[in-house]
Amino acid sequence: MLVQIRPAILMIVIMTVLTGLIYPLAMTGIAQLAFPRQANGSLIEENGKIIGSTLIGQNFTSAKYFHGRPSATTEPDPKDPSKTIPVPYAAADSGGSNLGPTSKALIERVKAEAKKLQAENPGVPVPVDLVTTSASGLDPDITPAAALFQVPRVAKARGLPEAVVKGLVLAHITPRLVGVIGEPHINVLELNLALDALQRHR
Amino acid sequence: MTGNGWSQIALFGAIIVLLVKPFGYYMTRVFAGERTFLFPIVRPLERAIYRVCGVDEKEDQHWVTYAVSMLFFSMAGFGTLYALQRLQQFLPFNPQHLPAVPSDSTFNTAVSFTTNTNWQSYVPETTMSYLTQMAGLTVHNFVSAATGIALALALIRGFARRSAQGIGNFWVDLTRSVLYVLLPISVIVALFFVWQGVPQNLDPYVHATTLEGAKQVIAQGPVASQEVIKIFGTNGGGFFNANSAHPYENPNALTNLVQMVLIFSIGAGLTNVFGRMVGNQRQGWALFGAMAILFLAGVTIVYSVESGGNPNFAAFHVDQSPSNLQSGGNMEGKEVRFGIANSALFTTVTTDTSDGAVNTMHDSLLPLGGMVPMVNMMLGEVIFGGVGSGLYGMLIFAVLAVFIAGLMVGRTPEYLGKKIEAKEVKMAMLALLVLPLSLLGFSALATAVPAGLAGPLNAGPHGFSEILYAYTSATNNNGSAFAGLSADTPFYNTTLGIAMLLGRFFLIVPMLAIAGSLAGKKIVPASSGTFPTDGGLFVALLIGVIVITGGLIYFPAVSLGPVAEHFAMIAGKLY
């Protein structure tokens, strides 16, 4: 039986070299050559500065931007590193709220968010993705319903006709792949960049 | 629920059905040592590995030797992974200068990845260096999966061989699993993932200045190479905390579909390997059929429950109804690009198998939606299952099913011409009883001591569900979580670690004993009194045995968690 110890140790060493070093490093090399933009995180640069990644949502609070979904991510408290404080869209510590459906904290939060949103667009039901936190806390997308809901606010804040803003929203819908796979969605950062570009050119 | 949602689920099912035969054919040839198209490239490497390790590939191991080889290998893997985590601050590829992982968390993680559980009590992006992710966690994603495939093959040989001493060679099965199955597909799919947006670099985290001028630190790393094997080897340990919900791990609906297909592919293919090796593919399709029916039941429940949305939101004028502009439903803990259908499907797929990757936060599922993943795991993850473990779990149920059928008609039970006798049934029962003992025993302990009660995030029945889910996931080597539970404490790290070990090895060793005992038996020729195990009656009986034994063991615990919460939710009670 003990003769099996030698292959056990050698095998884990070989597998570590093969699948733990050669494989990931070779993949890194090929990926950097073939798909450098994606391999480095699909980053967006403007005037030489990195403003984010198309895949990673960011926090928008200003009325002139479309807002993403609520985010439950946290970061260590600068005053006491053993505690965490809520920091939406903290992209080095992803995660969801993990609140269950009968949680008081969840229901109170949804109630408050819904109330705030109703004030900016009275009489229109609030799309559910705007009051619920995403699984990753970094969801880059909102539903078309959620974007259309925000059109009046954004148009007013920017002094643009609603029809123009609505047209931009509709042009930014990513449809289902081959009409079947996935859900229609809108990338919030790309939409906001397009809005800024639109006004620069006017 | 929408027509489109159902078509996406149907599309996924169709892809799996189409994969079964070609993949089963390929794997059967690989593990018989026959030529395949990769032979010219891989065979020299394979022989070199045997030479270095001193393995004679012709040697046929007795089941005890096979089991000992597997145990030594698991121990060696545990040791290297433990050392790597504790020493990572001295080693290269650590651009974030992350310190050594604390010892209780290291123990838990080393057990977790060695046993193919990939339960994660840590937050990867703030804990593990790139070297630990690659040379530690990625390696175990490969070898713990290869171990599972090897074990399934050993059991199949037990059924297929007659009057034989051995059940194959662990080292050969392990090496072939990695070289011919896991690694080639990982190389191709990793590059596909990068193309679709999954990062693959060794850079420090990116510091961005957002459009509104805020600072955002974006974690990076060699994600794609680990992502594919996390999925394909039904491991499930994410590169990031949010796992397959993280847009860097799973950027769009196409990568999501590929991930789900990869999770099921080996488990589904192995049913065909089984059929081919025992000489009747219909035997494999019978197992596949039972698995498929249980899968469809699960996904139907999760999809319909989650589509309904949370009734507690109704009072706030929130629109949860599906339309062309939104998928609606319970979107807490879900991603917009996946919506309800793909979240429900992924949730079912990842817990039918022992994968445990998540694209949606299971903790925020509605009570009955969250019950399905829990029950899937409690039933032993036999629905396609972890790579290998699903098939051998299912075969243990098959042994039990023919035994019960034998009792009903008063004949000695047989399966595939092998008489099922006291030894096999005792071993099957041992495996079936140790799992609930660990699962329910530890859950009871955690609800009785302060260190356990400190864990849950949510109050009320949902808090109990968080604890129950954790031990269910650990014992069944799944690794998904009701992640609100604060499990990175000495109490949870240790007890969950023990639960993972019990769940892995108390299933594997009795299973190998069954394999060894069956391999030595003669084949009894089929007669008119033989119960056919390749038809609808057997499928129904098998499903009945799985559901009834599972129900008898777990219903009381489940009724205290998800069922109680469901009725509380209807009554509008909050915690």
The domain limits of chain B are 22-252
* Residues of chain B below pLDDT 70: none
The answer to whether A97 contacts B138, with C-beta atoms less than 8 Å apart, is no
B183 touching chain A per CB within 8 A:
yes
Taking the domains of chain A in order of start, what are their residue ranges? 2-37, 43-200
Quick one: pLDDT at residue B121? 85
User: Three-state SS string across B452-520, please?
Assistant: HHCCCCCCCHHHHHHHHHHHHHHHCCCCCCCCCCCCCCHHHHHHHHHHHHHHHHHHHHHHHHHHHHHHC
Report chain B residues whose CB lies below 8 A from the CB of A136.
240, 242, 245-247, 335
The answer to whether A11 contacts B49, with C-beta atoms less than 8 Å apart, is yes
Of B11, B201, B360, nearest to A135 by CB-CB distance is: B360
* Closest chain A C-alpha to B416 CA, distance in angstroms: 31
The answer to whether A23 contacts B187, with C-beta atoms less than 8 Å apart, is yes
To probe the interface with A, which of B336, B359, B366, B458 has the most A CB atoms within 10 Å? B336
To probe the interface with B, which of A18, A50, A98, A188 has the most B CB atoms within 10 Å? A98
A99 touches A108 (CB < 8 A):
no
Q: Which residue of A has its CA nearest to B92?
A: A21
Mean pLDDT of A65-74: 95
Among B411, B275, B247, B259, smallest CA distance to B347 is for: B259
Q: If you write DSSP's letter for every residue of B182-242 in order, what string do you get?
A: IHHHHHHHHHHHHHHT--B--PPPEEEE-TTS-EEEE--SBHHHHHHHHHHTT----SSTT
Quick one: pLDDT at residue B300? 97
**What span, in angstroms and rounded, lies between the C-alpha atoms of A136 and B99?**
25
Of A31, A94, A181, nearest to B240 by CB-CB distance is: A94
Tokens of B280: 């009747």
Among B493, B514, B522, B480, smallest CA distance to B386 is for: B480
Of A5, A59, A185, nearest to B214 by CB-CB distance is: A59
In angstroms, how far is CA A61 from the centroid of its own chain?
15
**What span, in angstroms and rounded, lies between the C-alpha atoms of B228 and B263?**
10
**What span, in angstroms and rounded, lies between the C-alpha atoms of B163 and A24?**
44
Q: How confident is the model at residue A185 (pLDDT cuts 50, 70, 90)?
A: very high
Quick one: pLDDT at residue B164? 86
The answer to whether B216 contacts A24, with C-beta atoms less than 8 Å apart, is no
The answer to whether A53 contacts B327, with C-beta atoms less than 8 Å apart, is no
* Closest chain A C-alpha to B326 CA, distance in angstroms: 5
Q: How confident is the model at residue A202 (pLDDT cuts 50, 70, 90)?
A: low
SS3 B559: helix
Quick one: pLDDT at residue B355? 86
Quick one: pLDDT at residue B387? 80
B489 touching chain A per CB within 8 A:
no
Q: Which residue of B has its CA nearest to A42?
A: B197
pLDDT in tens, A77-136: 888 888 889 999 999 889 999 999 999 999 999 999 999 999 989 989 999 999 999 999
Of B214, B242, B312, nearest to A96 by CB-CB distance is: B242
Q: Which residue of B has its CA nearest to A182?
A: B253
The answer to whether A35 contacts B65, with C-beta atoms less than 8 Å apart, is no
SS3 B303: helix
pLDDT in tens, B138-174: 999 999 999 999 998 998 998 888 888 889 999 999 9
B65 touching chain A per CB within 8 A:
yes
Report chain A residues whose CB lies below 8 A from the CB of B209.
49-51
Q: Which residue of A has its CA nearest to B572?
A: A102
Instruction: Provide the residue type at B272 as one letter.
Output: N
Tokens of B139: 């390696």
